[in-house]
Amino acid sequence: MENNSTLLDALMTQFDGAPFNRLIGLRMESASAERCRARFEMRPDLMGNVVHRILHGGVTSSVLDTIGGAISTLAAGERMHGLDGAERLRRLANLGTLDMRVDFLKPGRGNWFVVEGRVLRAGNKVIVTRMEMHNDEGDLIAAATGTYLY
């Protein structure tokens, strides 16, 4: 983990292999220190309202938090230039959500959804992120701001 491309490769592997992400079907499409993007398909077991085929709000919140954590991990890793790989990984393993606010803007209808996250501010201990979820028609379904401690 001496360089950022190795950190990025590790994040991509861990993200796609994480049990929760596999359960949802959330797969990373692209990631950099500036922006992460993931996608998942609508399935009946993810619906909160099966009559209207609307995604459960808990799924929406969870995927927004997940992409916020991913971009925060990369941003925190960028700030740890002088640390060796083992120490860097140890510190990144402690990253966690301090706070998150979600605005549900439209019902979660769609065949698939894309979630994106970007860093608003990266400090010495805290990273603030902005996340959005769009459906396959480009509608903004939900937006969130998250604060992560590392």
DSSP 48: E
Q: For the chain, give every domain's residue range.
A: 4-149
Return the pLDDT at 79. 87
**What length does the chain have?**
150
Mean pLDDT by 10 residues, the chain (150 residues): 64 88 96 93 97 98 97 91 81 93 98 98 96 98 97
β partners of residue 32: none
Return the pLDDT at 123. 94
Q: Please state the separation of Cα 23 from the chain's center in Å.
A: 15
Longest dimension (CA), the chain: 54
* Cβ-Cβ contacts under 8 Å for 96 (sequence gap 6 or more): 69, 148, 149
Do residues 113 and 141 make contact, with C-beta atoms less than 8 angstroms apart?
A: yes
Return the pLDDT at 129. 98
Do residues 150 and 127 make contact, with C-beta atoms less than 8 angstroms apart?
A: yes
CB-CB neighbours of 110 under 10 Å: 21
Which CATH code for domain 4-149?
Answer: 3.10.129.10
